[in-house]
Amino acid sequence: MMLISSIGIANNNSPYKTPASLDGLRDPKVGGFTLIELLTVIAIVGIISAISIFAINTTNKNDDLIVDATRLTSLIELSREEAIMQSRDFGVEFIENGYQFLEYIPILETWTDLKNDHLFKQRKFPRGHHYELVIENKEIEIKNHNINSDKESSKKLLPSKVPHILILSSGEISPFNLLIFTDNDHKIKVSASLGGIININHE
């Protein structure tokens, strides 16, 4: 299956392997955790992460940037865990002043947003926060799509939802560099490697 991102085509038939073999988990003779136990642990970790993300109090703009970067990083890592365990493909689409998570629907061969998901719903950066997204050494221009009132024109202008960042069921994350900054020149950088390692660096 070939997945199309906003910058090209990605093949999720990757040699990258998940940390545990599902075949081994199905064999009662092999020691280790069961799939139910792993899912339970991931769910607990996800809940704890969500609580910690939204319980952080901020006192200045620099703290706000740290919260923005930490929240995005935690959500990407959580969606990566769900992608691996549930064999689903997710993506992150950046929009004006924010971002939203998408899921690939193989039957429809299209991406859809996760409106009804409390964690992965659309989010916006606070007022006064801006960002620059760089993928494959190219700065990505985020366009605000305006829909014409004419129905036929609206259908032509309505853009398909396409993620800028792919989070594949193989565990891979498409590399990216995201710089979040304020009007006062406070900056923080979020970067990801193909293997799924995400780093937060203060500029």
pLDDT at 175: 94
What rounded mean pLDDT belongs to the chain?
76
pLDDT at 160: 67
Cα 196 to Cα 30, 44, 81, 178: the distances in Å are 28, 21, 10, 15
Residue 79 has pLDDT above 80, yes or no: yes
Report which of residues 56 and 111 the model is more confident about.
111
Confidence of residue 99 (pLDDT cuts 50, 70, 90): very high
Q: In what order do the strands lie in the sheet with 187-192?
A: 138-140, 129-135, 176-182, 187-192, 198-202
Confidence of residue 194 (pLDDT cuts 50, 70, 90): confident
Stretch (H or E) spanning 166: strand 165-167
* pTM higher than the cut 0.75: no
Distance, CA of 168 to CA of 83 (rounded, Å): 6
Report which of residues 49 and 76 the model is more confident about.
76
Domains of the chain: 2-202 (3.55.40.10)
pLDDT at 144: 59
Q: What would you report as the CA-atom Rg of the chain, rounded to the nearest whole angstrom?
A: 18
Residue 15 has pLDDT above 70, yes or no: no
Residue 159 has pLDDT above 80, yes or no: no
3-state secondary structure of 80: helix
